[in-house]
Amino acid sequence: MEHGEKQITVIDEDGNEQLCEVLFTFESEEFNKSYVLYYPLGSDNDDDEEMEIHASSFSPSADGEDGELEPIETEEEWDLVEEMLNTFLDEEEE
């Protein structure tokens, strides 16, 4: 996955592929990582249900084509991601 990509394919723990829309990406100098927030395609069409947003850190591959999504490991990282998401959503409402 690269910064600026609009869709990614995520493979879950069962090996199933899920096409997801990238909400946004950002980098953190504090943790020296890049992060991506995304949601499964199709989930934004149902107004009765809240959209489930996923977050992962990612490392670009050497060739710049694909990268590896990694779980967010610390509470401090989750706090940062939540703060960035809230800022993003506040800007979207304006």
Q: List C-alpha distances in Å: 47 to 42, 43, 50, 57.
A: 11, 9, 7, 28
pLDDT tens for 13-38 read: 898 999 999 999 999 999 999 999 99
pLDDT tens for 51-77 read: 789 999 987 766 655 678 899 999 999
Which is nearest to 71 in space by CA: 57, 59, 84, 85? 57
- In 3-state terms, the chain is what percent helix, strand and coil (to 5)? 25, 40, 40
Confidence (pTM) = 0.79
Residue 79 and residue 71: Cα distance in Å, rounded? Answer: 14
Residue 31 and residue 56: Cα distance in Å, rounded? Answer: 13
pLDDT tens for 33-43 read: 999 999 998 75
